[in-house]
Amino acid sequence: DGGITQSPKYLFRKEGQNVTLSCEQNLNHDAMYWYRQDPGQGLRLIYYSQIVNDFQKGDIAEGYSVSREKKESFPLTVTSAQKNPTAFYLCASSIQTEETQYFGPGTRLLVL
């Protein structure tokens, strides 16, 4: 059945390490998004992609990188340049931008 998956569910990172969060969808959606959620704050957009091989920075892109080599996949790399990476990361997809977004289950990243 169709859906959007994220892995891992929990991720621990040592300071100075880069880590990559996986996001895969089999909904045949063109648009994909990465959000960060911190306690007491709304979701904030990190990056989004409207189509394969294209992506745009969101509000808080510094310290993050993405790729969109395949329609189904939109991995997010949290680099060592991200000074406060501990957060809940949510991936979403939609048929096109401005349409209903379908969310993955999220990945909790903790820096040790």
Partner 1 sequence: KNEVEQSPQNLTAQEGEFITINCSYSVGISALHWLQQHPGGGIVSLFMLSSGKKKHGRLIATINIQEKHSSLHITASHPRDSAVYICAVGKGNQFYFGTGTSLTVIP
Verify binding: residue 19, partner 1, rule CB under 8 A: no
Verify binding: residue 52, partner 1, rule CB under 8 A: no
Tokens 């979403």 found at? 92
Binding track, positions 74-93, relative to partner 1; x by CB under 8 A = --------------x-x-x-
DSSP letter for each residue of 33-59: EEEEE-TTS--EEEEEEEETTEEEE-T
Verify binding: residue 16, partner 1, rule CB under 8 A: no
Verify binding: residue 63, partner 1, rule CB under 8 A: no
Q: How far is the CB of 104 from partner 1 (least distance, A)?
A: 8
Kindly state the number of chain residues that form the binding site for partner 1, as judged by CB under 8 A.
26
Tokens 């990559």 found at? 20
| Sequence-separated contacts (24+) of 44-50 with Cβ below 8 Å | 46/76, 46/89, 47/76, 48/97, 49/74, 50/96, 50/97
User: What residues make contact with partner 1 under the rule CB under 8 A?
Assistant: 33, 35, 40-45, 48, 50, 56, 58, 88, 90, 92, 97-106, 108
